[in-house]
Amino acid sequence: MSQATVVVWSKSGCSYCQEVKGFLEENQISYKEVDVTSHDDRRDILELKYDVRYVPVVEIGQEGNYTGVTQLGLEALKAALEKQGIL
């Protein structure tokens, strides 16, 4: 089974986004970043997928099957990473 992919949807100047990325880096979890700064079309994608327009949103999954973590704070992110066997 392949390793799950982590994607962080974020924007510049977002303290919650920095917190999420810092947590992933501290735990040596690699991630891809999608920057929504000045890209409202990317927020449209978040709205279609998860019914939110804010960031951070963290997607975790593989082979086209992703779970989106939309709650602020690290507890939901930690739980999702543990469920995927990443943390």
The 10s digit of each residue's pLDDT in 42-85 is 999 999 999 999 999 999 998 888 899 999 989 999 999 999 88
Residue 27 has pLDDT above 90, yes or no: yes
Distance CA 10, CA 12 (A): 7
What's the pLDDT at 1?
Answer: 46
What's the pLDDT at 62?
Answer: 86
Closest CA to 87 of 1, 2, 6: 6
Average pLDDT on 15-42 reads: 97
Average pLDDT on 24-28 reads: 98
Closest CA to 78 of 33, 19, 34: 19
